[in-house]
């Protein structure tokens, strides 16, 4: 069973909603989120599948939450950052393999995108999650802390260090 403390309370007045109506439409957003963190299409798909599976199995309580989307986000983020699979960072596998693998940024002719992708892959999963949630998805530091299961100060540290790494890597390029 998934812990949902801090995200939403089950059993509140929200009407029961169907899984298809609530969770499935979230799949694309969750996939983008997972792909932003994991930078691996297969891993991202796995993360979303696992998230939806947990939602499906707990739908009796999830459907009654005020913000089931927030619950889905938290589960997805936790799944991503607990994987600890940093296969693509630190230049491994080499860029040529990433191109062979067909990831979109590597295929792109846009050199800046490739540089950014390479720099981004050097971030830890938690740094990626913190920057993605805070910068891209617009969640507050406190909300990010709930999603990531850590303290707000830790989120700030992840964001700051992640950005510092990006700046350094992009300047080095």
- Candidates 3, 6, 67, 104: give the one binding other proteins (CB under 8 A): 104
**Helices assigned H by DSSP within the chain:** 19-22, 27-38, 41-57, 59-62, 68-83, 95-101, 104-107, 111-120, 125-131, 141-148, 152-172
Which class for 53: exposed (0-12), middle (13-18), buried (19 or more C-beta within 10 A)? exposed
Of the candidates 46, 93, 133, 126, the one whose C-alpha atom is nearest the C-alpha of residue 106 is 93
Q: Is 157 among the residues that bind other proteins (CB under 8 A)? A: no
CB of 56 to other proteins, least distance (A): 5
Name the segment binding other proteins (CB under 8 A); options: 1-9, 24-32, 62-70, 145-153.
Answer: 24-32
Beta carbon nearer to other proteins, 68 or 105: 105
Count of Cβ atoms closer than 10 Å to residue 159 Cβ: 20
Tokens 């309580």 belong to residue: 61
Task: Write down the least CB distance from residue 89 to other proteins, Å.
Answer: 6
99 near other proteins (CB under 8 A): no
Q: How far is the CB of 13 from other proteins (least distance, A)?
A: 26
Stretch that binds other proteins, among 6-14, 64-72, 86-94, 145-153 (CB under 8 A): 86-94
- Interaction between residue 124 and other proteins (CB under 8 A): yes
CA angle 121, 73, 35 (to 5 degrees): 25
- The whole-angstrom distance between residue 91's C-alpha and the CA centroid of its chain comes to 21
Residue 159: name the closest of 44, 169, 140, 67 by CA: 140
Question: Contacts with other proteins in 52-81 (CB under 8 A)?
Answer: 52-53, 55-57
What is the size of the binding site for other proteins (CB under 8 A)? 51
Six-digit token string for 17: 């909603």
The residues binding other proteins (CB under 8 A) are 19-20, 24, 27-28, 31-32, 35-36, 41-42, 45-46, 48-50, 52-53, 55-57, 83-87, 89-90, 92-93, 104-105, 108, 112-113, 116-117, 120, 124, 126, 131-132, 134-136, 138, 159, 163, 166-167, 170
């Amino acid at each position: 069973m998934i812990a949902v403390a801090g995200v939403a309370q089950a059993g509140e007045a929200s009407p029961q909603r169907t899984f298809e109506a609530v969770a499935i439409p979230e799949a694309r957003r969750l996939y983008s989120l997972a792909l932003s963190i994991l930078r691996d299409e297969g891993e991202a798909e796995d993360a979303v599948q696992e998230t939806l599976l947990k939602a499906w199995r707990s739908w009796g309580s999830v459907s009654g939450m005020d913000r089931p989307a927030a619950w889905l986000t938290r589960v997805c983020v936790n799944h991503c950052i607990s994987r600890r699979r940093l296969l693509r960072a630190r230049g491994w596998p080499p860029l040529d393999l990433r191109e062979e693998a067909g990831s979109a940024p590597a295929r792109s002719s846009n050199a800046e995108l490739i540089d950014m992708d390479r720099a981004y892959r050097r971030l830890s999963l938690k740094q990626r999650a913190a920057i993605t949630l805070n910068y891209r998805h617009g969640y507050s530091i406190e909300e990010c802390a709930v999603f990531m299961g850590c303290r707000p100060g830790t989120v700030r540290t992840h964001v700051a260090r992640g950005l510092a790494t990006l700046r350094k890597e992009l300047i080095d390029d």
